[in-house]
Each structure stands twice: as structure tokens, then as C-alpha cells.
Structure 1
Amino acid sequence: MLPRLALTAGEPAGIGPELLVRLAATPLAANFVAIADRDLLQRAAARCSVKLDLIDDDGGQIDTRAPGSMRVRHIPLAVEEIPGRPDPHNARHVLATLTEAAEGCRGRRYAAVVTAPLQKSSINDAGIPFSGHTEFFAAQSHADVVMMLASPELRVALATTHLPLINVSAAITPASLERTLRIVHDELRAKFGFAEPRIAVLGLNPHAGENGHLGREEIDTIIPVLEKLRAQGMRLSGPLPADTAFVPAQRQHYDAVLAMYHDQALPVLKSEAFDRTVNLTLGLPFIRTSVDHGTALDLAGSGKADPSSLIAAAHMALDLVARRAMSSSQGHS
């Protein structure tokens, strides 16, 4: 039977609905279940000149899927979308799709969830505190999580996510850093199959603090945590200066990088493999992957948005589902 992948369309006025339609048009071997407004998807299909066959989801299994077909769990919009112009009236619709995806994954109705980009500001404009998919799914699941972006060549996890730069240093505590490294280590083993993961840890300051001359976070926080976890058997290098950590000679020595803040390492990853990079959330009780880009409101409605990152996210979700199934079968053999 094909794995049931939940798909959320994200911001209705963004490119997400068009990306879902483009993904459905591929021959990828998955039972796609779009958690969205069915009319929104049909309008997106018309803009993309794609023939879309939407089938109401009955929760059942299928062993084949024709390109262009997709199951749908209909969650209606509050107001019809205007491409490029997010409407806060649809904020609760967006959150309802995410809630259904999370609950469905925890209830084993879906094997994984793949998310299209949403517009955080539109949800906040509706008076609902919201800082992103990662934080929302963490709260839904009562889980400590870590954001990771991965391409075929590089994996980057984040010690902090969507924070103003001025708040980053205070957010990196010994407890939070240790918790993050344990999650990354455990998930590299469980999800990616590394028996002894090698993790490169970046410093927070330029030149990793230069022995305290450019900041003391490395001396006071990062180095003590690394020494503690190394003593417990983790293979950790660093803290490394971020400006040299990604050169080819360094990369062969690690399986993943832990960056201290959002923009410290992600520009490297996205400049190399923007169309092949996937956002995934480590630490959840289910598999969640996503695109590595935003809603591209300037492209919405044109039918020209590139679906490569969403297709890569679906491929990674399927790979992780297969690895989980293999691990489970080995554990019961």
C-alpha cells in the first residue's frame, strides 16, 4: 500500500496551493491527502493548467495513484483567496489544516505530513500568536523540537529558530544547548541511520569568540556542554568559526552542523541547493518535512512557482517513512 502523506497548502493566497497541484501531477508513489479547501485546489490547478482529479478522502489505503489525482480532506476557507494578498480571515483555516495534520499523524491516519509555506504575519494580524510551523507542531505534540534543513550534500540544525538577533545569546543556555544536541544526535541515528553521528557545532561569535576577545558565550556556555556530551560518547567538533566550517576540507569530518541562529548557516545551504533543500522538524512523534522557502506572494496566481523544494520534501518524507518501517521490522524480527 502507498504511504498516506498529508499535504497542507499553507497560505491560501501564496504559492502553496499551486505547489500541491504540481506535486500531485508527478508520478511519485504516494497516497497524497491534501488537507485544504477543495475549491482552492481546483482554482490553483486552473491557474497552472493542470488537470486535477480530487477524491474525497475516506481514510482508506490504495496501492496505485494516477498522476494528477489526489485525495482531499476538505477544510473550507473563510473567504475566497486573492493571490498575492493574504487575508487574516483565513488564519483559522490555516491553523485548522495544521491541527488536522498533526492529529492525523499522531493517530496514524497519515504516515507523515508535508507542509507548503504559510504567512506568519497574516496569522498574527488575525490576533493569533504564531511564530511558525516548527513551534506550532511542537506545542501540538508537547515535544522539544529542533529545526533542520537538509540537502543531499549538507544537513544544518538550528539551536534557535525565529528570534530577533538581539535575543539569540540569552536563548542559548547550557540546558537548551544540551537538549538540542541530544535531539539532533538521536534523530540522526533514528531517521538518517548514522550509528555514531558526527556533529559540527558552530560558535556564536565571529571566530568562535577568539578565546573570549570577541564574546564569552563559547567559553561560558558552548564549550562546557560539548565537553560534557563528549565525555558521554557523542562525536562533537567545535565550537567552529562559522566562516570556515563549510569549506570542503571540513565537511568530510561531520554528518550535520548545529548553527546557533537562523541566518548563520542557512544562506550557505540555500545558495548551494535551494531547489533541493528540505525543512524538517526533529523531535516530533511524527515525520514532518517542508519546503525551504516562503509564500512568494509576487508569484502567487501566476502558475509559474517552482515545485522542486516541495517535491524534494515529499521524497524525503517517503524515505524517512521507509526507513522507519525498516527499523520497526528489524526491531520485531
Structure 2
Amino acid sequence: MSKSVTIPVHIVITTGEPAGIGPELVAQAFARRASLWYRAAHFTVLGDRQLLIDRAKQAGVDPAIWLMETGAPVVLRDVPLSVWSIAGVLDAANSRYVLSMLDSAIEGALDGTFDAIVTSPIQKSIINDSGVLFTGHTEYLAKRTGTSRVVMMLSGTGNRPMRVALATTHLSLRNVPDALNIDGLVDTLVIIDQDLRARFCIASPRILVTGLNPHAGESGYLGREEIEVIKPAVLRACASGVHARGPYPADTLFHPRYLHDADCVLVMYHDQGLPVLKFATFGECINVTLGLPIVRTSVDHGTALNLAGTGRADCGSLIAAIETAIAMASTAVDGAMIRGTASDSK
């Protein structure tokens, strides 16, 4: 007789841009919810120890949360700052510090030390100012894991989750049409379908696809991308078993009567779908990178430099990102247990 063993998943959390709200949000999230998480997960938090202690104090959180010893449910791995960080004041000298946390998390996830990564917000501009070309977490994760194509998906949490995936990510709007092609869109739809099945336990994901142009091109009068690229991609994806429909006009698609019949909406560019999603779910929305060999979630907001060190930032999105990472990682671990890699036979 085989009996399943409950194995807490191991989540690593990067604390992000040191001048931003990430360090204090992590402290606030653990102060509020950690006792509910410990049975399901253990945590490694990456960041400068003294910075995290100071920011916890500024946020009104007992800094003893970071003083737990090795083997405790929460372990702080000290990553020293390059230069001391002042809340709200960016310094390009700390860009390497930010990337070193991310590198450590990725390496640990790839070698099996961690079951999922949760990333706090970073400041892309200051990393570029330091001389490192950086377009975002999504692209960096793809490069470091050797993944040819990943998909950025934001997901509202709660009783009726709303998911929006992006065909293109951090790209100038004038470059979007040239970045769209049939093969790429088919690959994107397949990744969404596979990860919604494997990571979110949706048996038959339903994906709605927007057009690129106003009114989805108005039968070619406002652009031909829908006719020449998007529709052929949808048809090819459907032929491979993906339940996709479209293209639909983006200005009318985001209505409850359409979204009720969808598990995810694929939009063609960043600001086509994310403003709608964030308006509806901001503070409870998360970012998930699909297509990776590892689990990664993040918050739906930036570094909020004006709030750093004040304790007034809302940690709701980070809590949702952590809880989603636990659920996704647990699904993966449960799958391994079913295959017999983590069972206790009696």
C-alpha cells in the first residue's frame, strides 16, 4: 500500500531593487501570512541582512522575522549590497546586487534546490544605466534558463481569476507588428495551453485572442495582420489541439459575458491588455512566466520609490504571488509523487 508524504515546497524570494518597496513588502507579507504558509512551504529570502532588518523596522514589522536560524521555515540568505541603499534613492552601483539575487534564485531552481521563484519589483532603467542591457525579468529568465520562448501572463486572483498573456512583452509599440508571425503566435498559444493544464490544473483551457488593430482590422481596411498572421495562427493552434478563438477586437473583448467563457486572453502587446487587467484586479494581480522549466511568479507593480521606507505600500500582490507559487510548485511536486518519486510505501 502506498501512502503519500506531505513535502513542503521550497520557495526562494528575491527582494528586488533595494531602494524600492520590495524589501519591506517581503517583511510585511511574512508578518501577515507566514504562519499560514509554513506547513505547505519553506522559504529562502535573498537580500542584504541589515537592509532587510532596517526596512522591516520602518514598515513596523518585528525584525526578528529575519533572525531565524538555518532549518527554520524562513531562512535569510545574506547578499551584501554593493553600496548602502537609501529608501527611494536609486544607485546604479547596486544593479549587480539585484542581478546576483536573481542569478542565485535561478541557479537554485534549475538544480532543484528551490521549487519556485518569487521576484520582488526591480528598476529596469537603473540596471541599464549601470551598463547592463536589461529589458525585464521575463526576458532575463528566458536567457538564463536557455528557453527559446516564454510567455508573460498576468493573472488576477480571487473567485473569478482573469488572465492576460502577451504575444510581445517589453517592446516599443512601433516594433510590435514586425515581431508578430504565425509560428511565434502558434508557439505562444501552445505554451499557454500546456502551462494552464500542467501548472493551473485546467483540463481544457479556453483562450481568446485579440487582434492587433482597431476593430481587429475591420476586414483588412485598418490593417491586415489579423488576416495574414493572427487568424492563420489561431487555426493552426486549434489544429494541434489548442482551444483558441479569435481574433477579436480588444476594445470589446474585455467584458464579463466574453471573459466568462475564457481561461486566458492573449493580447498582442503590453498595453493592449494589462491596463484593463490592472484596473480590475490591481493589488491582487500577479505575474507568471509561462514556458520556463521552473516556476516563477511576481508582483503586478513596480518599485514605488515614493513609498519606499514608509510602510504604506500594499503587500497584497506579493502575498498573492507567494501563494500562487506555493500552489504551482505543490502541483509539480504532487505530480512527481504520483510518478513515484516521492512516496512512502508500506
* Alignment-derived partner of residue 253 in structure 1: 261
Give the distance between the partners of 1:134 and 1:252, measured in 2 at CA: 28
Q: How many residues align?
A: 325
Alpha-carbon shift at residue 331 of structure 1 (Å) = 3.5
* Alignment-derived partner of residue 333 in structure 2: 325
Amino acid at match of 2:195: E
Structure 1 position 146 matched with structure 2 position 151: yes
Give the distance between the partners of 1:55 and 1:18, measured in 2 at CA: 15
- Give the TM-score, by structure 1 length: 0.94
Give the distance between the partners of 1:273 and 1:230, measured in 2 at CA: 30
Give the distance between the partners of 1:128 and 1:165, measured in 2 at CA: 22
The equivalent position to 2:235 in structure 1, one of 223, 227, 230, is 227
Contact 1:158–1:259 (8 Å) recurs in 2 = yes
* Alignment-derived partner of residue 272 in structure 1: 280
* Alignment-derived partner of residue 49 in structure 2: 38
The equivalent position to 1:16 in structure 2, one of 7, 18, 22, is 22
Give the distance between the partners of 2:226 and 2:303, measured in 1 at CA: 36
Amino acid at match of 2:61: V
Amino acid at match of 2:150: V
* Alignment-derived partner of residue 141 in structure 2: 137
Structure 1 position 84 matched with structure 2 position 88: yes
Give the distance between the partners of 2:235 and 2:227, measured in 1 at CA: 11
Alpha-carbon shift at residue 98 of structure 1 (Å) = 0.1
* Alignment-derived partner of residue 103 in structure 2: 99
**Correspondences of 1:104-143 after superposition (within 5 Å):** 104-143=108-147
* Percent of aligned pairs with the same amino acid: 48
Amino acid at match of 2:90: P
**RMSD, aligned CA:** 1.4
Alpha-carbon shift at residue 56 of structure 1 (Å) = 7.0
**Correspondences of 1:287-298 after superposition (within 5 Å):** 287-298=295-306
Give the distance between the partners of 2:259 and 2:325, measured in 1 at CA: 24
Give the distance between the partners of 1:270 and 1:55, measured in 2 at CA: 35
The equivalent position to 1:308 in structure 2, one of 316, 331, 340, is 316
User: Structure 2: 5+ residue runs without aligned partners?
Assistant: 1-6
Amino acid at match of 2:26: L
After TM superposition, what 4+ stretches of structure 1 lie above 6 angstroms from structure 2? none
- Give the TM-score, by structure 2 length: 0.91
Give the distance between the partners of 1:160 and 1:88, measured in 2 at CA: 27
Contact 2:189–2:242 (8 Å) recurs in 1 = no
Contact 1:33–1:57 (8 Å) recurs in 2 = no
Give secondary structure in 2 for the equivalent of 1:244.
helix
* Alignment-derived partner of residue 158 in structure 1: 166
Alpha-carbon shift at residue 330 of structure 1 (Å) = 2.8
Describe the superposition over 1:200-245 as per-residue Cα deviations: whole angstroms up to 9, x where unpaired: 0110011111110110101111111111121222211100111111
The equivalent position to 1:50 in structure 2, one of 41, 55, 61, is 61
Give the distance between the partners of 1:188 and 1:48, measured in 2 at CA: 36
Amino acid at match of 2:172: P
Give secondary structure in 2 for the equivalent of 1:34.
strand
Alpha-carbon shift at residue 328 of structure 1 (Å) = 2.5
Contact 2:9–2:333 (8 Å) recurs in 1 = no
Contact 2:153–2:163 (8 Å) recurs in 1 = yes
Alpha-carbon shift at residue 57 of structure 1 (Å) = 7.0
Describe the superposition over 1:273-299 as per-residue Cα deviations: whole angstroms up to 9, x where unpaired: 111101010011111000000000110
Contact 1:89–1:126 (8 Å) recurs in 2 = yes
The equivalent position to 1:241 in structure 2, one of 249, 254, 264, is 249
User: Structure 1: 5+ residue runs without aligned partners?
Assistant: none
Give the distance between the partners of 2:244 and 2:18, measured in 1 at CA: 42
Contact 1:24–1:32 (8 Å) recurs in 2 = no
Describe the superposition over 1:257-282 as per-residue Cα deviations: whole angstroms up to 9, x where unpaired: 10100011111111111111010100
Give secondary structure in 1 for the equivalent of 2:309.
coil
Quick check: 267-276 or 22-31, which moved more? 22-31
